[in-house]
Amino acid sequence: MSVPYQVVIGLEVHVQLSTQSKLFCGCPTVFGAESNTQVCPVCLGLPGALPVMNQRAIELAIQTGLALNCEIASVTKWDRKNYFYPDLPKGYQISQFDQPICGEGHLDFPDPENEGESLRVRLIRAHLEEDAGKSMHDEAAGKADSRIDLNRTGTPLLEIVSYPDLRSAVAAKAYLTELRLLLTYLGVSDCNMQEGSLRVDANVNLHIEHNGKTIATPIVEIKNLNSFRAVERALEYESKRQFSQWQQTGAVMGDSPKQTRGWDDAAGVTLPQREKEESADYRYFPDPDLIPLQITDAQLQRAQSAVGETPLMVRRRLQRDHELKAYDADVIASQGRAMVSYFDEALTKGASAKRLSSWMQQDVMRTLNENNWTITEFPIAANKLASLLVAIDDGQLDNSRGKNVFQYFLDRPASDLEEAIKSLGIASVDQAELEQLCRELLAENPKIVAQVKEGNVKGLGALIGPAKKRNPNIDPNLVRTICQQLIDTEF
């Protein structure tokens, strides 16, 4: 059902980069360490401690920017973003204000509501900054205690800021899914939301058509979004809430300040937190302890070579070179780079792309899910799966017996196709023998013969089971074909 407004969404995504040490010091970034054990005078902001830039974070930021089609700055600098919060010991955050490392770019991703189509979100910037610490609140009965863990302080973040190009909660979730997939392809982050490696703030307001004019509601920034499903639910709720509030109050852009609201996932509602700050509130100024950084052509070339094939490129290649449908190409690409490598290796060993895609989506992925395996843990090597599929294509095995071989490979990873066929008692069936079997079945089932003559060919399916009992090596498709031919010529 259509709604009388258009949702306008922009997203800010904070990505923790996969570096061994923090952005401006040598402290480790291991998740789950005992509180306040991965800190030093630099990340604590103690007097006299000076930051030293992490070169690896710069490399990962440039790689990400190139993959996101961003303009990479020739010169970038560091700025202090001043605000007070208990888990920010320095009283300021080292970030980037007017000269971010990555400028405007864009990300294309599959349209979740139109198969085969794509959407594009333009990016304003992607800049580096250090993370703050973590506040932990104990609100048990009779308590109101808070503890601060500063292990995360100084961890390198890349903040990716989009233009408000998204028009639905479903599209926002699809954009985030594609962004996370791209980042994992690049290896720049593990994007583990449970560990805080990827965090999302959503900005949303409505454009309402009223009396021939477009009215914009005040922008709300939603925080505390710990999953993509939470992003989707929060945007859906907030859109309805803003429309209801506009109906009651008539509030429009400019009537009230931007607001920050938190998402209560259990209650399924957004709750007010504070008025949203503007850049002037942070009193940005260049960090006097860090000199501007010049990005060289050599750095750009190294980063470009490290980007490799993106998910979008994979989809297009599978559709163009192997004639896969858009949906099938997307399923393969969305499983990650390791799955694509497995798929490509099987192709080089002779597997046909369409049959391989079908088996990957059904038997392989089902087995991975049942055993909680990744494709790198899958016991059937790509060349072995390819040999099985080639045998099916060549008529050596039918699909049913192929599944028996597949299970044999799972149970005995060291086996090969020849051993599996021999152990399972799979043998080729003589054509004359198969025709005789079909004649016997038809003679025993005159009702099925009559149904087929009347045009009901589905009745032939009832003959497959009895045929399999007499000879488990028969090909069900051949049985159907031969029975139809015999009915047309002999019965």
Does residue 414 fall inside a structural domain? yes
The CA distance from 423 to 124, in Å, is 61
Residue 72: DSSP 8-state: B
**Does pTM surpass 0.75?**
yes
Average pLDDT over residues 393-406: 88
Does residue 303 fall inside a structural domain? no
Tokens 């039918």 label which residue? 398
The pLDDT confidence band at residue 450, using thresholds 50, 70 and 90, is confident
The pLDDT confidence band at residue 136, using thresholds 50, 70 and 90, is confident
Of 100-109, 261-270, 279-288, give the lowest mean pLDDT range.
279-288
- Name the more confident of 169 and 436: 169
The CA distance from 160 to 64, in Å, is 10
pLDDT at 395: 81
Does residue 276 fall inside a structural domain? yes
The CA distance from 216 to 194, in Å, is 34
Tell me the CATH number at 477: 1.10.10
Would you say residue 482 has pLDDT above 70?
yes
Last residue of a domain, one of 380, 407, 423: 423
Same domain flag for 368 and 221: no
Same domain flag for 221 and 369: no
Residue 58's φ and ψ, nearest 5 degrees, are -65, -45
Same domain flag for 162 and 252: yes
Same domain flag for 458 and 380: no
Decide the pairing of beta strands 118-130 and 134-138.
Answer: unpaired
Same domain flag for 97 and 245: yes
Last residue of a domain, one of 298, 319, 335: 298
Handedness of CA 139, 144, 149, 153 (dihedral sign): positive
Last residue of a domain, one of 247, 271, 298: 298
Would you say residue 138 has pLDDT above 60?
yes
Does residue 272 fall inside a structural domain? yes
The CA distance from 167 to 207, in Å, is 10
Same domain flag for 44 and 124: yes
pLDDT at 245: 92
The CA distance from 424 to 417, in Å, is 11
The pLDDT confidence band at residue 2, using thresholds 50, 70 and 90, is low
Same domain flag for 407 and 444: no
- Asked if 112 and 75 count as a contact pair (C-beta separation under 8 A), the reply is no
- Asked if 135 and 86 count as a contact pair (C-beta separation under 8 A), the reply is yes
Would you say residue 127 has pLDDT above 70?
yes
Of 320-334, 351-365, 451-465, give the lowest mean pLDDT range.
451-465
> Percent of the chain scored above 90 by pLDDT?
73
The pLDDT confidence band at residue 429, using thresholds 50, 70 and 90, is low
Tokens 């299970």 label which residue? 407
- Asked if 46 and 66 count as a contact pair (C-beta separation under 8 A), the reply is no
Instruction: Classify 290 as helix, strand or coil.
Output: coil
pLDDT at 428: 67
Same domain flag for 293 and 417: no
Does residue 182 fall inside a structural domain? yes
Instruction: Classify 204 as helix, strand or coil.
Output: strand
pLDDT at 440: 84
The pLDDT confidence band at residue 284, using thresholds 50, 70 and 90, is very high
Same domain flag for 276 and 395: no
Average pLDDT over residues 278-294: 90
Would you say residue 25 has pLDDT above 90?
yes
Same domain flag for 94 and 184: yes
Would you say residue 1 has pLDDT above 60?
no
Count of the separate structural domains present in the chain: 3
Quick one: 153 exposed, middle or buried, by C-beta within 10 A (0-12, 13-18, 19+)?
buried
Same domain flag for 462 and 347: no
- Asked if 384 and 409 count as a contact pair (C-beta separation under 8 A), the reply is yes
Would you say residue 483 has pLDDT above 90?
no
The CA distance from 259 to 444, in Å, is 78
The rounded Cα 161 to chain-centroid distance in angstroms is: 18
Mean pLDDT score across all residues of the chain: 92
Average pLDDT over residues 441-445: 86
CA distance between the termini of the chain? 56
Would you say residue 337 has pLDDT above 90?
yes
Would you say residue 228 has pLDDT above 60?
yes
Same domain flag for 319 and 213: no
List Cβ neighbours of 371 (8 Å cut-off, separation of 6 or more).
none
Q: Which domain holds residue 234?
A: 5-298
Does residue 304 fall inside a structural domain? no
Instruction: Classify 484 as helix, strand or coil.
Output: helix
Decide the pairing of beta strands 220-225 and 259-264.
Answer: parallel
